[in-house]
Structure 1
Amino acid sequence: MIDILTSYTFIIVALGTVILGIASGIIGTVSVIKGQSLIGDAVGHATFPGVVLAFMLVGTRETLALALGALLLGIVAFFFIQVITEHSRITLDGALALVLSSFFGLGMALMSFVQGNPDFDGTQGLSDYIFGQAAYMLRSDVYLILVASIISLMIFIIFYSQLKIYVFDPVYSRSIGISNKMMNFMILAITITLIAVGLKAVGAILIVNLLIAPAVIGQLWSNRFSHVLAIAGIAGAVSAFTGTYISTAGNNIATGPAIILVLSTMVLLSLLFARKGLLRRSMLKKKAGEY
């Protein structure tokens, strides 16, 4: 155990995933409260073809190029969701399902094409972007996550007061001059950015869980927005560190699934023992019945 915790590779990987977990937990809380968490799911799946297309264009698995490709396709996917919901009778959940399956199917088709094409070399690592494999993260990957997460958190802190009003009272926020469209776009832009840089660590399929589960944990333990944000950030960090350790210590265990399993366990424990958990509710009902 000590050897793993002190190894350079583990420290680099854990630093990247923990930072990503903190930022994703905090930013994802806003999306969950606003009921937009499934948009992140659709966008997360839609970023995968962007990774493959970027690889096809640049010919290398350079992290920044692949992240930019993922970011671009995430924006395109969100644009399609908006167009479908605003200019057709298809509901939001239908549009999300359509975009998610179509874009991810495109990514898998492109993946099959490049893997069977002798003109493209070095495709082995692309499959890691589906489920995530942080064990192969480089220092440059951690720097990219660090920069994206710090910028995202700085933007969140700067606009914290406006965001808080927008989240809980959009009518009042509009009346005092806060642009709800700008707030919504800002959160979605930050979310797409975190998804793009976190694909290598967690994967396109599982990245949305890192945005949703910490927020659920935070809401189960507290009603205060600031406390929910803090708990969500801590939950994201703890799950990222523990999942990375399990992935490093185990054999052939992908980092993304390991992190999500730890998060799911934390959600289950919170559902049972948290302030608003099932056991506490049953105890309060029992006491109320006695009186």
Structure 2
Amino acid sequence: MIDILSGYTFLIVAFGTVILAFASGIIGTVSVIKGQSLIGDAVGHATFPGIVIAFMLVGIRDTLSLALGALILGIVAFLTIQLITEHSKITLDSALALVLSSFFGLGMALMSFVQGNPDFDGTQGLSDYIFGQAAYMLRSDVYLIIAASILSLLIFSLFYQQIKIYIFDPIYSRSIGISNPLMNFMVLAITITLIAVGLKAVGAILIVNLLIAPAVIGQLWSDRFLNVLLIAGTTGAIAAFIGTYISTAGDDIATGPAIILVLSAFVVFSMLFSRKGLLRRSIQRRKFGEST
């Protein structure tokens, strides 16, 4: 165990995934409370063609270039969703499904094209961005995750009060001069940034779980917004550490899925034993029945 914890590969991967999960847990809580968690899912899938396009333009699997390509396509996907919902009769859930499938399908088509084209070399690692391959994270990947996470948390902290008012009372926030569209775009821009830098760790398909599961856990244990944020960030970080350890200690266990499984176990535990859990409510109903 000590050998694993002190190993260079484990430390690099664990450091990156823990920071990513902590930031994602906090930022994702806003989207979950606002009922926009599925937008993150659609954007996560939509970033994949951005990675392939960036590779086609640059010619190498450069971490910053691929993340920038994912970020740009993520923003395009979000704007496309807004355009569809505001200028047509298509509902939000239908728009999300259309964008998710269309953009991800584009990414898979582009992937097939570059893999079968002799003009593009080094395409093997691109498929790792679908399901993630944290074991192959480099120091540059971790630096990018740290920079994006710190920037995201810094912006969130600076606008904490405005975001809090915008989440829980959008009418009042407008009356005191807070721009709700700006707050909405800022939160989603931060979310897309974390998705873009986290694709190599957990992949386009699983990244949304880092945004949703910690927020669900936080809401099950507390009603106070700040406490929910801290619980979400902490449980995300703990799950990332445990999942990375399981992946490193086991054979042929991918880090991203291991982290998601640990987070899922935390969700199940919280659903059963938290202050809002099934067992707690069952006991309360039983006591209420006995008293009547």
Work out whether the TM-score is over 0.5.
yes
Deviation for aligned residue 1:124 = 1.0
Residue 8 of structure 2 corresponds to 8
Structure 1 stretches (4+) deviating beyond 4 angstroms? none
Identical columns (%): 82
The C-alpha deviation readout for 1:21-61, integer Å capped at 9, x for no partner, is 00000000000000000000000000000001101110111
Report the residue type matching 2:93 in the other structure: D
Aligned residue runs from structure 1 range 203-282, under 5 A:
203-282=203-282
Q: Distance in 2 between matches of 1:234 and 1:64?
A: 27
Counterparts of residues 109-148 of structure 1 (less than 5 Å):
109-148=109-148
User: What's the counterpart of residue 40 of structure 1?
Assistant: 40
Deviation at 1:185, TM superposition (A): 0.7
Q: What's the CA shift for 1:109?
A: 0.8
1:153-164 equivalent positions in 2, closer than 5 A: 153-164=153-164
Q: Distance in 1 between matches of 2:168 and 2:196?
A: 28
Give the drift of 1:249. Answer: 1.6
Separation of aligned partners in 2, 1:8 and 1:154: 29
Runs of at least 5 residues in structure 1 that lack an aligned partner in the other structure? none
| Corresponding position: 1:286 with 2:262 | no
Gaps of 5+ in 2: none
Aligned positions, number: 291
User: 2:71 is matched by which residue type in structure 1?
Assistant: L
Displacement after TM superposition at 1:88 (Å): 0.8
Residue type at the aligned position of 1:71: L
User: What amino acid is the match of 1:98?
Assistant: L
1:133, CA displacement in angstroms?
A: 0.8
Which amino acid in structure 1 is aligned with residue 90 of structure 2? I
How much is the aligned-residue C-alpha RMSD, in angstroms? 0.6
In 2, distance between residues paired with 1:169 and 1:79? Answer: 24
Structure 2 distance, partners of 1:135, 1:201, is: 8
Amino acid at match of 1:228: V
Query: CA shift at 1:118, angstroms?
Result: 1.1
Mapped partners of 2:83, 2:34: distance in 1: 20
Instruction: Give deviations 1:67-105, integer Å, cap 9, x for gaps.
Output: 000000001101110111011110000000000000001
CA distance in 2, matches of 1:13, 1:268: 26
Partner of 1:27: 27
CA shift at 1:190, angstroms? 0.1
C-alpha deviation, 1:138, in angstroms: 0.5
Helix, strand or coil: the match of 2:239? helix
The CA deviation string for residues 102-129 of structure 1, in whole angstroms up to 9 with x for no partner, is: 0001111111111111111111111110
Superposition deviation, residue 226 in structure 1 = 0.5
* Secondary structure, counterpart of 1:120 in structure 2: coil
